[in-house]
Amino acid sequence: MRAAPTILHLDMDAFYASVEQASKPSLRGKAVIVGGLGPRGVVATASYEARRFGVHSAMPMAQARRLCPNGACLIPRFSLYREVSDVVMALLRELSPLVEPLSLDEAFVDLEAGGVAFDGPSARAAGERLRADIRAATGLSGSVGLAGSKMLAKVASEEAKPAGLLLIEPGTERELLAPMSVRTLPGVGPATGEHLRRAGITTVGDLVEAGEDELVRIVGRAHGVGLYRMALGLDDRPVVAERDAKSVSVEDTFDVDLHDRVRIRTEVQRLADRCVQRLRASGHSGRTIVLKVRRYDFSTLTRSETLRGPTDDPAVVREAAARLLEGVDTTGGVRLLGVGVTGLADYTQEDLFAQSLGEQIQEEAAEPDVAAEPGEAAAAALEHGEPSGEPEPAPERRWAAGSDVRHAVYGAGWVQGSGVGRVTVRFEQPGSQPGRVRTFRVDDPELEPSDPLPLVGEGPTAEEL
């Protein structure tokens, strides 16, 4: 615990939904729900307008639609969210070299290390200036918590939501925390909260009154000791500038269970390629390939294979994932697939340890005594994604709600919805007035997918405030 509230926690308000509202003028002030749009989609975040209807993150999208039937349900646009996050994180690094990002929209900052705050008034001034600068640069709002520890700064930012700032003066922690729910403390989820409730403990003050020995008896030594310290407001964790990634992974939940083994293999190969793209973007390679399979009955299986050297070769990852899949029973159907890489390193082993099976096949093909029956050749082609010789029908163009498009005549816009061979587009862009809506055939040659347009900051600067 510090003697001054010089640890800052920033949490952007309803980040994904707020970015969508800022980039789509017709949605400002309206209910926006971001997440998967299929039958098994889950809400990633909801605007405050949608939250009034009871919509919240991790809720099934189908339930969110029932609660908020007039809400705009949109797919996430992570490339745009990352761009906006980069702007926000750059502003934080102007305050201090010690910035600890927790996600795209959340971070701790050590203001003392940056020399911008050493007491309550200077910390508050830095926090207010940060909020104004974020508004000016992005048009978005963020909530700021200031305290003498990371835990309390995070509690403060949550209490300050939305678009506020709360400073907890050292010495007032226990008084502030006492009436709060035990769920306020980090690590106290629904299960632990219910366990404590059955013991008659519902507030942070109840935790302090129960005492460390009683909490150890209820939830175990490791958790009980930590819980008691948090209830007292004690937290000595420093702000750490670099948080090393432990793994890189991607996964997809399917609208309808997959039963076709060939389709399942194809999806695994596609996920492996996406995983490697993220791996390379992070500047890492990895040694252990992990396959995740959630079956029709919600049982989840994970399989892993460790290579003899780190790799960022997509062929190596694809083939390792395919080998792992061979050991998984998919009878009955698959609802989710995921591919990940762990054991990360910042270099790649440039040798034959992680040689891909594809390279081995090319070498063996030069040997005249290697032959395959026609049936085996067809199976190999399917296994490794090689063309079968028969042309495939062109896939129907799909337009997900919220995705960016550009029309040869009308310019930039976004998809409001599609169906029955038609797609409806609203033509507007960040900083414009709400735009007009037009409908096209889904195969209109003048309509093309597009990259998101940059977000334009519209708020006042710190000086204007």
* Catalytic residue numbers, as ranges: 106
Residue 13: name the closest of 155, 135, 162 by CA.
162
Paired tokens of 66: 């029932």
Residue located via tokens 């960040």: 430
Paired tokens of 378: 């067809």
**3-state SS class at 278:** helix
Residue located via tokens 């203001």: 111
Q: Is the peptide bond before 97 cis (omega within 30 degrees of 0)?
A: no
- Return the sign of the alpha-carbon dihedral for residues 221, 227, 229, 235: positive
- State the alpha helices, DSSP H only, in 139-250: 150-160, 173-177, 190-198, 204-210, 212-219, 221-231
Taking CA atoms, 315 is separated from 91, 276, 325, 381, 435, in Å, by: 39, 10, 15, 15, 45
- Return the sign of the alpha-carbon dihedral for residues 189, 194, 196, 202: positive
Query: Exposed, middle or buried: residue 55 (CB in 10 Å: 0-12, 13-18, 19+)?
Result: buried
Phi and psi, residue 423, nearest 5°: -130, 130
- Return the sign of the alpha-carbon dihedral for residues 193, 197, 202, 204: negative
CB 456 within 8 A of CB 83: no
Paired tokens of 282: 């992070």
Residue 8, phi-psi category: left (phi > 0), alpha (psi -120 to 50), beta (remainder): beta
Residue 289: name the closest of 263, 242, 322 by CA.
322
Paired tokens of 363: 């070498």
Q: What angle do CA 412, 416, 418 make, to 5 degrees?
A: 110
Give CA 399 to chain center in angstroms. 22
Residue type, 412: A
